[in-house]
Structure 1
């Protein structure tokens, strides 16, 4: 039955992740009948542990919430246009400083209930191993698209798929943390560093390899505005930090198979890869101590590893920014060098997984449709977006444009001044080597030069204000 469709379906959506669920829901809300094909529970990818839809397999964070952050703007836009993913995320949110994080089990349950209860969505549980013959179809199979389906897609478009690895951070039990050695404080929270302050190098440190990006700065401001105690801080002195870095570099890693070409996404590097780039790289990345004061000493520590709650009751914490491809035994040895985690119980070990995506600028048309295969649309990470919110946004936009096509209406994509429009900008922007990307301000049309020269924060706020104004006008006219 692989690839077969019922003549009573208007659209087939393959994949029950964030992009697939969002696309199916939006199509159904527009009166179309949808068959959503999901391979769980018959088969799971190596990163999945649940049979629910929209399972969050990496972090439980949907990242920054402030409108001065591009992903914060994208979330607000999705709320305004009726996104299922954002509705469920808001309903299942857990404390996370200036970010939106969710209880991943409750989030997946809410998404699954909404899809299964919709009268115009039929869910079919089976694996799809080749591109379905019927049209239209949306492929939203995510970063772990099966080898068989990826091969079918590659044969159809004549394009080579690119592969790299995303790494998953470990999770520890809250009651196994030595709370006498750690403290709660959000970076740049109340009593922390001034907004926009850059991390000063620890004494004797080399300068960072690269300057902080605009997204990094926006995340710092989010934490400053939150001012809560959503994060747990594990402090390192200089000797502890350097010993930890040496252990990361020397640890045994899971090796790639012979036929796999490892290409890491810079926004989700394994911690041991960062450590190997230089002794101080981590101290300017996920272990930067700026904006934090150890209440036991009254001073900023040399470095800090932060923990973020996994669920609403804070019974478990993940190691923020510590995605890893170390072998499990090595993870236990190395991560128990972290102050406060000496006796930690690991509820989930870190792991690595493949991400497959196409060269979207070369292959996709304006409706996210394969030029070489009319009627086949791509949504989510297989098209080259990166991140939970971006995947849901890509599913939303793909469904919206497909619905317009099926009604024989002119395509009305989101304005390029919006973050939703920025998703399409990224997918259509020709690059020497196309790479997945989170939403950034660079994907959104710049302000009119007549607006004058604004400082970075003011410019982002002005772009966000314009985006929401343009979005509301566009949505009202639809």
Structure 2
């Protein structure tokens, strides 16, 4: 076999697509413009670099849709998920990783495969020949974005995404802050103390909100519109929606007891989550921001326990690009106007590391099967992968299409047997049981072919 599969983008989706296709025996050329061409958010040229949070979110595969997606990806020999487990950090019920070690392992795994080669250059057009997967993510380069726009004949859809700051652990005042996961969640002592918590009184919270609202912020260029994804809203935007919004979001004080003053309930709590295996870096959970750098330092140092904080990275905001996939992609993620091209990852309109990698997994398998003359049955809609791909390739309303995390609202109602279960916990267990059954059968059918 001489034909090669070209994959553009070495993020979560591109890395997973390359791994899945190569494992099927296809020759893969992975195109990555970094570090030759830099982006706002990336710090290296490694594959699978995490640019926002270091968390893959909940790992509960029985009560959480993203945890179910974890399970399905691991079952399919997913590179991203299995590597995440290899570099897992204590994070209560979440799956968080040492981001640098994780990216290095992804890079090593892909470059060690004999049928994977890497080309470090920017791809700026959509080729007419050959098999291609474009997994360029939310930071698709302007030149490629323009090529996509020319081909699709429609305006690019975009929203603005923000990243949270990272703090050096040694600069956190532990005479004020304390270690505890919300509701003491976790199987080990380390997991039950995976987060650092900074308490606020009502007066401190009100002063923080005042400073947040008054701080200098990044302004958009004339003609740009900011449609934020709700799962990654800048804290200033949340505060603008109401002074209590943050206290019911990332700063909620529930499930936590301050050992320095156990009789006093904090009015609000800022949580920090470990960002590397050494425990030297912590990111401020949910604190994506569009404040300018000078303002960030002064405002965040108003948080008790962070008054002397040193920042390894401040937050920022960047433009994300995604396709109107319901109108542009078929059920195998091929561009309808150019079927030799598939798209995968966040550019398709899924949101999050896990969802992006999941779409890469499917695109890689679909492309490899087509190149090998095999037929893959449609992904079962009752799996987490199936619910997502159905949503982006036809289930969503095209006129109002927006990026979406996996959630049980995307799943078809349960059948009569499981549908008879009472309560949300039983219903979610019904969804996950059904999904695991159909996903396992789908994988077994491919293995038998």
Q: 1:297 to 1:339 in 2, by over 3 A?
A: same
Partner of 1:447: 414
Distance in 1, Cα, partners of 2:191 & 2:433: 24
Of 220, 223, 233, 2:197 maps to 233
Distance in 2, Cα, partners of 1:289 & 1:281: 13
Q: 1:31 to 1:261 in 2, by over 3 A?
A: same
Partner of 2:28: 34
CA contact (8 A) 1:188 1:227 kept: no
Distance in 1, Cα, partners of 2:35 & 2:3: 23
The secondary structure found in structure 2 opposite 1:248 is helix
The secondary structure found in structure 1 opposite 2:400 is coil
Partner of 1:3: none
Distance in 2, Cα, partners of 1:123 & 1:413: 30
Residue 223 (structure 1) shift: 10
Of 249, 260, 270, 1:305 maps to 270
Partner of 1:467: 435
Partner of 2:71: 76
The secondary structure found in structure 1 opposite 2:409 is helix
Of 430, 436, 444, 2:396 maps to 430
Of 161, 179, 184, 2:179 maps to 184
Partner of 2:103: 108
Distance in 2, Cα, partners of 1:151 & 1:242: 45
Q: Is residue 2:246 matched to residue 1:282?
A: yes
CA contact (8 A) 1:98 1:226 kept: no
Normalised to the residue count of structure 1, the TM-score between the two structures is 0.90
Q: Is residue 2:5 matched to residue 1:11?
A: yes
The secondary structure found in structure 1 opposite 2:259 is coil
The equivalences for 1:382-421 within 5 A come to 382-421=347-386
Partner of 2:122: 127
Of 113, 121, 135, 1:118 maps to 113
C-alpha root-mean-square deviation of aligned residues, in Å? 1.7
Partner of 1:321: 286
Distance in 2, Cα, partners of 1:223 & 1:146: 43
Residue 225 (structure 1) shift: 12
Distance in 1, Cα, partners of 2:339 & 2:98: 39
Gaps of 5+ in 2: none
Once the two structures are superposed, what CA deviation does each residue of 1:169-193 show, in whole Å capped at 9, x if it has no partner? Answer: 0000000001100111111216xxx
CA contact (8 A) 1:187 1:223 kept: no
Residue 297 (structure 1) shift: 2.1
Residue 444 (structure 1) shift: 2.2
Partner of 1:97: 92
Residue 9 (structure 1) shift: 4.2
Once the two structures are superposed, what CA deviation does each residue of 1:325-376 show, in whole Å capped at 9, x if it has no partner? Answer: 0000000010000000001001100001111001011110011001111211
Partner of 2:218: 254
The secondary structure found in structure 2 opposite 1:446 is coil
CA contact (8 A) 1:9 1:34 kept: no
Distance in 2, Cα, partners of 1:397 & 1:424: 9
Distance in 2, Cα, partners of 1:87 & 1:475: 17
Normalised to the residue count of structure 2, the TM-score between the two structures is 0.95
Residue 96 (structure 1) shift: 0.7
Of 162, 169, 172, 1:174 maps to 169
Residue 293 (structure 1) shift: 1.1
